[in-house]
Structures are given as structure tokens and as C-alpha cells.
Amino acid sequence: MPKGALSGLMIASTIIAFNASARAQDTDAGKTAYLSSCAPCHGVDANGNGVFSAELKLKEPPPGLTGLAKRNDGKFPARAVNEIIDGTTFVAAHGTREMPIWGFDVMVRSRIAAIIDYLTRIQEK
């Protein structure tokens, strides 16, 4: 099996496992969306230690997300986070704008809102 194919299979398997785990353990829509879409890189605990962070060989590891409010004078930067997730603000690790991760339909917008709600609730005090 080619090296890239094995890596792709590993990534797909992990995403499926995160999705199944989230559905089985939690009905929190924001947490479920976070676990399936963000946790592989940012970590289940949102501290930047996701299972893919080493696999992606990024110049910098994914940031922890629990200190966003603390780093922003105690206020959660919801608008900035939304713009990063939806692709308005370019983050190389999230992919190019030509092939957006999220798309722009109503269901996707509600998932982004749910993730922002979840991230707001897990901020360090």
C-alpha cells in the first residue's frame, strides 16, 4: 500500500472514531461538531495536542483553544474564531479558499455556531 494511502486511511479512521465517540457519549451539538471536525488537530481537550498534529508535520503545532478568551483580555473572540473556521481569515493548515472545509450552507453555519458556543464554554477562567 502506498505511504500516502495509509496515511489517508489512518486519518479517515480517526475521524470516524471521533464521530462515533461523540454521538455515543454526548448530545451536546457543539462538542460533537468540535470532536468530529476540530479535535483531530486541536485535541479532544482543545489544548493543541490532536492525533494529527504530528502527522501533518506543520511548522507550528495547532494552537490550544481553551485560552482564547484569556489571550483576548478575558473576552472570547467569537467573530475572529468564526472567520477562521469559515475560511474568511486564511489559516494555511485549514486549507485553501478554493476548496473550503466548511462550505456555506445553512446547516454548516449552524455547526460553526455550535462549535463557537462549545469553545466559549470551555475557556480557561
pLDDT tens-digit map of 63-101: 999 999 999 999 999 999 999 888 888 888 777 666 556
3-state secondary structure 25-62: HCCCHHHHHHHHHCHHHHCCCCCCCCCCCCCCCCCCCC
The residue range of the domain holding 13 is 3-121
Residue 54, pLDDT score: 76
pLDDT band at 125 (very low <50, low <70, confident <90, very high): confident
pLDDT in tens, 92-110: 877 766 655 665 666 778 8
pLDDT band at 61 (very low <50, low <70, confident <90, very high): confident
For the entire predicted model, the pTM comes to: 0.71
Structural domain count of the chain:
1
Query: How far is residue 30's CA from residue 12's CA, in Å, rounded to a whole number?
Result: 21
Q: Which three cell numbers stand for residue 1?
A: 500500500
